[in-house]
Amino acid sequence: MSRAIIEIQDLSFSFNGQPVLQDIYLEVKKGDFLAMIGPNGGGKTTLLKIMLGLFAPDKGSVRVLGRPPQKASHRIGYVPQDVDINLRFPVSALDVALMGNLKPGKGWSRPSREDRIAAHRALEQLDMGPYCDRRIGELSGGQRQRVFVARALVTQPEILFLDEPTASIDTRGQHEFYQMLKQLNERITVVLVSHDLMVISGYIKSVACVNSNLHYHDHGEITGEMIEQMYHCSVDENCPVELIAHGLPHRVLKRHE
């Protein structure tokens, strides 16, 4: 059996005195492809940032690769929800990928030959090698996201965290992006926050429904039961969400008498 590389025990977190997460238990095994889904404000991104070591829980423990998250940061890749980059700035895809090798507090220094080789390798792995000299503002939304993933992969992390990675990508691009993540998952553990319920079910291996509490499901199918847990509504009610059953999309609608 695969060992757990992320372990969360009895975790709670509040922000400005307001409870955000309560009594969270989670184990993520090596090689998993976990999607965290749930309503806005339910705590998905907060939990992701706790696993990254960006937030500290009020109580409970978090271990990533057997260590506190901050001490495992060099083995983690992260693609945030909103990458703060000026698309008009004359920076190339290669320049962005090279940013993955910048060390906190070290300031800017000329990239080494090894840094450039690693950045080229990461771009080529994501089919972005031919675009390495293209300005980032000239790329499509899907291509830019691949570059940002390449930046996270430059250090060859063991876990890749992504927060709403396809928010600016059209439906076709979303499928292509998740297919790329599925291929990466052959050698790296992937944890992402997503609202793409219509898309992700064909690619992920497990689901964490997060809405203050957490319910873990060790399969990739998103079901009506999960929707009820997340949104506190019955699939027999007018619950305005879509789910995936056996790989096919279904609209959850109110039952007609």
| Whole-number pLDDT of residue 167 | 81
Vertex 99: Cα angle to 96 and 102 (nearest 5):
175
* pLDDT for residue 251: 38
User: 4-220 maps to which CATH number?
Assistant: 3.40.50.300
pLDDT > 90: percent of the chain: 60
Contact 43, 21 (CB under 8 A): yes
pLDDT, residue 94, reads 95
Residue 158 has pLDDT above 70, yes or no: yes
If you search the block for the tokens 């926050």, which residue do you land on? 193
Q: What is the DSSP letter of 60?
A: E
Contact of 72 with 64, CB cutoff 8 Å: yes
Dihedral of alpha carbons 61, 67, 71, 76, sign: negative
pLDDT on residue 232? 59
- Of 178 and 232, more confident: 178
**Residue 112 pLDDT class (50, 70, 90 cuts):** confident
* Segment 163-189 mean pLDDT: 90
Instruction: Please name which of 163, 159, 174, 165 lies closest in space to residue 147, comparing C-alpha atoms.
Output: 165
Rounded-to-integer distance, Cα 80 and Cα 78, Å? 6
Residue 106: the pLDDT is 54
Domain extent listing, the chain: 4-220
pLDDT tens track for 41-70: 999 999 999 999 999 999 999 999 999 999
Q: What is the mean pLDDT of the chain?
A: 84
pLDDT digits 0-9 by tens, 196-246: 777 788 899 999 999 999 999 988 776 666 666 666 555 444 444 444 433
Residue 243: predicted pLDDT: 45
Condensed to tens digits (0 to 9), the pLDDT of residues 69-79 reads 999 999 999 99
How confident is the model over 121-132, as pLDDT tens digits?
Answer: 999 999 999 999
- With cut-offs at 50, 70 and 90, classify the pLDDT of residue 90: confident
